[in-house]
Chains A and B, each alone.
Chain A
Amino acid sequence: MLEIKNLHVKIAEDDKPILKGIDLTVPKGEVHAIMGPNGSGKSTLAYVLAGRDDYEVTDGDVLWNGESILDMEPEERAASGVFLAFQYPMEIPGVAGLTFLRTAVNSLRKRRGIEELTTPAFMKLVKEKGSDLNIDIEMLKRPVNVGFSGGEKKRSEILQMAMLEPTLCVLDETDSGLDIDALKVVSDGVNALRGPEKSMLVITHYQRLLNHIVPDKVHVLAHGKIQRSGDKALALELEKSGYAEYGEKAA
């Protein structure tokens, strides 16, 4: 279970507060969506969960399965099951996708006290998981995300998620830059990872992703606070009314 308690966060380098007291609980087996206008702090929340050090937590706590994760390094959080699918996945020239994945998988297995995968076992697994996402081995022989289209990058994120077996999945604007077909592939990939042991936090600006990944709860984040919570009907309502009542100026 993920418990976010009265979380206050500012950017480490200045005093501008971004999150001003977030309270949120995502029980095991549930998918919660966080929606909100641009600049409301959605991505900040995602980064703080994953442990990026550009932010400073000034108050509150984040508990994952009853344990605070705020003092953990990003790799320790990953080992405890946290995974962030990036809005803008990074390109790593010179590092083949397969090398990257294998290094990550085996680092996590080592830290989790599970035997590392042999090369054949790893290859079998990556082929299997990749085929569900239309990712073939040739694509993974190329450097991580280099020259990939927006859709390919997002699929490669979901493949990483599938390979690393997280229990808390945070998806940051996974729908951005995707066309309808790619959205379907990515959503199917995410849905396949839903399970009674997993908690998911899906961050999005638009309702359309939630047609594919149907959430148990929807929360509206604006001005650094959860303004409203409800079921999936809330997403549809927002789609109609927009974020105007939460202070977003027309674009």
Chain B
Amino acid sequence: MEILIGKYNYWIYIGLMMIGFYAMVAKKNLVKKVVGMNIFQTAIILFFISTSYKKNATIPIIIKSQEVIEPIQYINPLPHVLMLTAIVVMVSTFGVALAVIVMLYKQYKTLEEDEIIEILKDKK
């Protein structure tokens, strides 16, 4: 029982990761695959940030009127900093993926993966 109380945050985010993974693997439309990749990356970012929490602690903005600063009163700021970089990388890959999808639509006039494979087989 204490395994469930101690680790349920990891299990929730693993469930969200698997929803994004299923969308990337099983859907046939290209835009839905890219949206699945976005869900997967968001779940990883939330997973990382959930490891920074400490019980009965507050946000990492130091209250100025304190004499001695105890690091156990503030949550860990390092995962937040690393995940800011991860969010920017997520936006960049999403933008470039959408640009590639626009180019594919101009060339093949369709966005379904199996129709594109049919056109490529016929061209041979």
Do these two chains really belong together in a complex? no
Residues of A bordering B, CB below 8 Å = none
